[in-house]
Amino acid sequence: MYVLIGGAGLVGLNLAQRLVELGHTVALIDIDPAACRYAREQVGAMAFEGSAVSTDVLLEAGIRKADSLAAVLRDDALNLAMVTLAKHYGVSHILARMRHRDFEQPYRIAGAHHIISTVELAVSTMVNAIEYPQVESMMHFEQGQIEVLKLSIPSQGHVVGRSLAQIAQDSRFPQGSLIIGYQPHPHTDLVIPNGSTVLDPHSTVLIVTKPGSLHPMIDFIQG
């Protein structure tokens, strides 16, 4: 996949690094010569020096052949312009980093398929870490209607040594919840479990649940 990134700041460079590691072809655009040089020499991506909202630079960077474009510039107005140009040149998958909430609707109108608010993401992550310190990680889906959380199994407890079928039949297991992933040990791969999967101590589970069931689920798994 050919991915074009507007902005070689901290977010842009780290995004490029991850995508390169996954085997994608990545090109960044930035006005900073040092950032472009770093992208080429340290990240292994292509880099084009210039404005990410210049049609000449975008065409040189290959926007017509880009499968995805990420606008992660330091200014919402510039990101909005880049999204608009990406839509114009027919990029099929467009992402934008949003700094100010007022730009959400303009981004959607301009053609962004995914809008990531870095401030809201950081705040949400910190709130989750404070509110649910037992949870290793948590993700929200469908405007917070569904939660996916990663929980560790204690060394002792009523879920240890029990199968998922037994756990699902327990009246204390929150209704509408499902264990969708299981990692027996920290250095093993996450697998999709079935009813016969038995939870070992110090293993990890991935759970889908509703927001109102978060505390009951944590208490059930780690109690």
Q: Identify the residue with better confidence: 9 or 122.
A: 9
pLDDT of residue 160: 93
**What mean pLDDT comes out for the span 123-137?**
78
Can you say whether the dihedral through the CA atoms of 61, 62, 67, 70 is positive or negative?
positive
Q: Is the pLDDT of residue 44 over 90?
A: yes
What is the chain's mean pLDDT, rounded? Answer: 92
**What mean pLDDT comes out for the span 103-109?**
96
81 three-class SS: helix
215 three-class SS: helix
pTM as predicted: 0.71
Task: Give all domains of the chain, ordered by start, each with its CATH number.
Answer: 2-119 (3.40.50.720), 129-222 (3.30.70.1450)
Tokens of 91: 């990029």
pLDDT of residue 143: 61
**What mean pLDDT comes out for the span 197-219?**
91
**What mean pLDDT comes out for the span 94-115?**
95
Q: Is the pLDDT of residue 141 over 80?
A: no
pLDDT of residue 187: 85
Which pLDDT tens digit goes with each residue over 191-207? 999 999 999 999 999 99
Tokens of 179: 């264990």
Q: Is the pLDDT of residue 173 over 90?
A: yes
Q: Identify the residue with better confidence: 130 or 46.
A: 46
Cβ-Cβ contacts under 8 Å for 73 (sequence gap 6 or more): 6, 7, 9, 52, 79, 82, 97
114 strand-pairing partners: 95
* Segment holding 117, helix H or strand E: strand 114-117
Helix and strand numbers (H, E) in the chain are 8, 10
95 three-class SS: strand
Radius of gyration of the chain (CA): 22
pLDDT of residue 48: 98
With b for 16 or more beta-carbon neighbours within 10 A and e for fewer, the 21-56 pattern comes to eeeebbbbbbeeeebbebbeeebebbbbbebbbbee
Which pLDDT tens digit goes with each residue over 6-38? 999 999 999 999 999 999 999 999 999 999 999
pLDDT of residue 203: 93
What does the DSSP 8-state code read for residue 198?
Answer: B
89 within 8 A of 63, measured Cβ to Cβ = yes
Mean pLDDT is lowest, of 107-111, 121-125, 151-155, 210-214, for 121-125
Amino acid making up residue 52: A
Number of residues that this document lists for the chain: 223
pLDDT of residue 7: 97
Which pLDDT tens digit goes with each residue over 59-76? 999 999 999 999 999 999
96 within 8 A of 121, measured Cβ to Cβ = no
